[in-house]
């Protein structure tokens, strides 16, 4: 018996209990090595197998075509705000971005240090509560790429239609990866910090199309995709334990029926929580438009600060933790990544209903 809670944290977030149990069982002696994974050389046969399995499983789960490389890097998604433009930039130094919130803004700020950035669509006028329409004529024909934040962790929106363009598309998929079926071929580059839907903090997954690697010569080695691609992500010591946990998560997802099955459950989970909010008298969802609503992060709030803080403390007493919203939106935010069981969302929805009926 464990006393685990339902943790609605935006990240680092819940991991599947089965994964944690498996890691615990292998902690002291990984497959007869007499060592924990943390103590294994990254060049050992044991770790090589972990690395190969992690890549194969992710390729299988996301149906990643052969002309894409999977890299395991460090520095978080934030490092990719810089590394992606450095690697993909062309001679025009033009880069187009869609601004859908705090993480997009940070990506834009880094790219501006490198070249000519144009924001082609922006939803700041309504506190990023919707996904803006992207006029294809706004996208510059000689831009090296267009960048979107697939799922907006803070504001709770997600893209359900992609920009209509031939320009390479880059996405920050930190809070959306593996949560729903996507077509990798739509993207030239996908990057994601692990600590939401992949594993522990410390590893960043980059899925990059072959022709995007090695475009710019003389980059600092640690910032060059080519160095990692040529060395199977072993250019230097990779975050071995984080990659091992990611591999266990991928195995877990495969056993659940893959991303297709996760999407089905994730839709059900999000629907349950949104319905409770939409049917309540005192709570309001930050994102009104159903089509733009994230399946992973659901910000909501009551008009009164007193009610918000009472909701949070009573939720905590009921084993529903880390529901406090981001300071820029306020209120509450339920992050319900793959590892959040359906039961956790059922409990949260029931708690919202009960709280509403007692306080409306
Ligand atoms: C969409 C998105 N991008 C980037 C980041 C930053 O990631 P990291 O802390 O791994 O750099 C986050 C973190 O929450 C995020 O949600």
Residue nearest to atom 9 of ligand 1 (CA): 76
Query: Is residue 346's pLDDT more than 90?
Result: yes
CA distance 250 to 257: 11
- Residue 269's contacts (CB-CB under 8 Å, 6 or more residues apart) are 295, 336, 340, 342, 345
Mean pLDDT for 321-350 is 97
Q: Report CA(91)–ligand 1 centroid distance (Å).
A: 28
DSSP 20-53: HHHHHHTSS-STTSSS-GGGS-TTSHHHHHHHHH
Flag whether pLDDT at 1 surpasses 80. no
- Answer positive or negative: Cα dihedral of 193, 197, 202, 206: negative
Q: How many whole angstroms from 103 Cα to the centroid of ligand 1?
A: 7
Quick check: 262 pLDDT over 80? Answer: yes
Q: In this model, does residue 181 exceed pLDDT 80?
A: yes
Does this model's pTM top 0.95? My answer is yes
* N- to C-terminal Cα separation, the chain: 37
| Domains within the chain, CATH numbers bracketed | 18-255 (3.40.640.10), 258-359 (3.90.1150.10)
The encoded tokens of residue 147 equal 């960048």
Q: What is the pLDDT of residues 45-64, one digit of tens each?
A: 999 999 999 999 999 999 99
Q: pLDDT per residue over 264-319, tens digit each?
A: 999 999 999 999 999 999 999 999 999 999 999 999 999 999 999 999 999 999 99
Tokens of 238: 């990779």
User: Using a 6 Å cutoff on CB, does residue 76 contact ligand 1?
Assistant: yes
Whether 172 lines ligand 1, by a CB cut-off of 6 Å, is yes
Measured from the CB, is residue 11 less than 6 Å from ligand 1?
Answer: yes
pLDDT band at 360 (very low <50, low <70, confident <90, very high): confident
């Amino acid at each position: 018996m464990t006393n685990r809670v339902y943790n609605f944290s935006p990240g680092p977030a819940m991991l599947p209990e089965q994964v944690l149990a498996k890691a615990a069982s292998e902690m002291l002696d990984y497959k007869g090595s007499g060592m924990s994974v943390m103590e294994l050389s990254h060049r050992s046969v044991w770790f090589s197998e972990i690395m190969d399995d992690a890549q194969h499983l992710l390729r299988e789960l996301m149906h990643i075509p052969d002309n894409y490389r999977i890299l395991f890097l460090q520095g978080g998604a934030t490092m990719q705000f810089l590394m992606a433009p450095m690697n993909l930039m062309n001679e025009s130094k033009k880069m187009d971005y869609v601004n859908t919130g705090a993480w997009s803004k940070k990506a834009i700020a880094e790219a501006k240090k490198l070249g000519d950035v144009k924001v082609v669509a922006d939803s700041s006028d309504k506190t990023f509560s919707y996904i803006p329409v992207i006029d294809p004529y706004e996208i510059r024909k000689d831009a090296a790429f267009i960048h979107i934040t697939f799922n907006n962790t803070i504001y709770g929106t997600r893209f359900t239609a992609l920009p209509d363009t031939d320009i390479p598309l880059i996405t920050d998929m930190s809070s959306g990866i593996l949560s729903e079926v996507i077509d990798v071929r739509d993207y030239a580059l996908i990057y994601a910090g692990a600590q939401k839907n992949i594993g522990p903090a410390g590893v960043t997954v980059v899925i990059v199309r072959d022709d995007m690697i090695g475009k710019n010569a003389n980059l600092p080695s640690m910032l060059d995709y080519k160095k990692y691609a040529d060395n199977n992500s072993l250019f230097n010591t990779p975050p071995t334990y984080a990659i091992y946990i990611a591999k266990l998560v991928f195995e877990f997802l495969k056993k659940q029926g893959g991303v297709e099955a996760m999407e089905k459950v994730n839709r059900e989970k999000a629907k349950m929580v949104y319905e409770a909010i939409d049917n309540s008298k005192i709570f309001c969802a930050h994102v009104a438009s159903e089509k733009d609503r994230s399946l992973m992060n659901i910000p909501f709030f009551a008009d009164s600060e007193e009610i918000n803080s009472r909701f949070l403390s009573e939720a905590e007493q009921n084993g529903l933790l880390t529901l406090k919203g981001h300071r820029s939106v306020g209120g509450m935010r339920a992050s319900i990544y793959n590892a959040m069981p359906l039961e956790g969302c059922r409990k949260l929805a029931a708690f919202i209903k009960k709280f509403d009926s007692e306080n409306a």
